[in-house]
């Protein structure tokens, strides 16, 4: 039986958790002094093929993997140039074939500080340079070495920088980040040994590979309406394993390229609706998935 990494909202990474707009916990819009935003979203993600290293394949013993996520995302302006962002999802994963028991529960709670270091005015346009530092950790002791695990079980540091340009309703944001992941203790002793991985004579701790991430997003943002398209690329930075018999999921080097879109429409007052779509166009040790998202937003969405 192959160990298949379930496709999560990996930006949890803050790779694994996502805000309402798209991939990634952080965007370029500052909340504003003492202003808050709260969203509750539901997402469904499915795949019936996955990548072993970079080779796409299917497994009849797995069928279609479905991941359902109920996520709470909030942001609060600690000042005009400093925001606090938090996110926490409840996840249910199951496969349509085989005899694997579904996995569900609270996954990882994430928190981040976003700082707008510089703000340049260019005529009626504006260019901002921002930095963010985040941390995520498991909310419960879930299984991390299952075929359809809800997460990797590691605690992660996430640091990134971004440039955010706004000209009227048009905007463009580019960000680059590095996620440092901690070790994970497996629920079983693995039967192989590799340097910096698990030694069956010394326990079941394994390293989860670090990753880098690039996200480019562009679109239109006004108070009553928001729409964007985005591209996300995640690349393993440290050595990891590929999917194979006997190799635990947490050690897999996971990478991917995704594209997606997000829309928001204000209903009344400070309440609005959001919806999103994304698909995986390339990957490594990950499901070739498609995701649909919808939810409610309380508070200002972007500008």
**Domain range list for the chain:** 36-299
Stronger pLDDT, 268 or 203, i.e. the higher one: 268
pLDDT score for 14: 29
pLDDT score for 101: 85
Stronger pLDDT, 14 or 58, i.e. the higher one: 58
Q: How many CA atoms lie within 13 A of 235 on its CB side?
A: 8
Question: Tokens 């790779």 sit at which residue?
Answer: 15
Quick one: which of 287, 270, 269 has its CA closest to 278? Answer: 287
pLDDT tens readout for residues 228-279: 999 999 999 998 989 876 667 889 999 999 999 999 999 998 999 999 999 9
- Find the mean pLDDT for residues 112-125: 95
No. of helices (H) and no. of strands (E), the chain: 0, 17
Q: Tell me which of 135-149, 163-177, 205-219 is least confident.
A: 135-149
Give percent above pLDDT 90 in the chain.
68
pLDDT score for 233: 96
Terminal-to-terminal C-alpha distance of the chain: 49
Distance of CA 292 to the CA centre of its chain: 14
Q: pTM of the entire structure? A: 0.86
pLDDT score for 301: 82
pLDDT over threshold 60, residue 202? no
pLDDT score for 244: 77
pLDDT score for 189: 56
pLDDT over threshold 70, residue 18? no
pLDDT score for 204: 74
Kindly report the backbone phi and psi dihedral angles of residue 56, in degrees, each rounded to the nearest multiple of 5, phi listed first: -75, 135
Collect all residues with Cβ–Cβ distance below 8 Å to 292 and sequence separation of at least 6: 43, 44, 45, 275, 276, 277
Q: Tell me which of 20-24, 137-141, 215-219 is least confident.
A: 20-24
Mean pLDDT of the chain: 86
CATH class of the structural domain 36-299: mainly beta
Helix (H) or strand (E) holding 118: strand 108-122
pLDDT tens readout for residues 141-157: 888 887 788 998 999 99
């Amino acid at each position: 039986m192959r160990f298949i990494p379930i496709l999560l909202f990996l930006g949890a990474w803050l790779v694994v958790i996502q805000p309402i707009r798209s991939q990634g916990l952080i965007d370029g819009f500052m909340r504003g002094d003492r202003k808050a935003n709260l969203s509750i979203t539901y997402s469904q993600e499915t795949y019936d093929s996955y990548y072993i290293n970079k080779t796409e394949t299917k497994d009849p013993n797995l069928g279609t993997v479905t991941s359902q996520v109920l996520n709470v995302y909030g942001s609060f302006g600690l000042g005009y140039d400093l925001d606090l962002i938090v996110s926490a999802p409840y996840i249910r994963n199951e496969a349509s074939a085989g005899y694997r028991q579904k996995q569900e529960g609270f996954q990882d709670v994430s928190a981040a500080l976003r700082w707008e270091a510089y703000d340049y005015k260019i005529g009626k346009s504006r260019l901002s340079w921002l930095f963010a530092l985040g941390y995520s950790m498991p909310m419960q002791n879930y299984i991390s070495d299952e075929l359809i695990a809800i997460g990797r079980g590691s605690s992660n540091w996430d640091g990134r920088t971004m440039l955010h340009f706004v000209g009227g309703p048009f905007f463009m944001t580019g960000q680059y980040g590095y996620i440092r992941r901690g070790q994970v203790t497996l629920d079983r002793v693995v039967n192989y040994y590799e340097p910096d991985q698990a030694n069956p004579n010394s326990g079941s701790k394994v390293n989860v590979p670090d990753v880098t991430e690039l996200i480019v997003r562009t679109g239109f943002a006004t108070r009553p309406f928001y729409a964007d398209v985005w591209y996300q690329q995640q690349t393993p930075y440290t050595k990891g394993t590929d999917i194979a018999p006997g190799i635990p999921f947490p050690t897999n080097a996971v990478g991917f390229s995704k594209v997606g879109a997000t829309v928001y429409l204000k209903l009344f007052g400070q309440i609005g609706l959001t919806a999103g779509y994304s698909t995986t166009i390339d990957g490594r040790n990950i499901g070739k998935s498609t995701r649909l998202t919808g939810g409610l937003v309380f508070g200002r969405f972007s500008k």
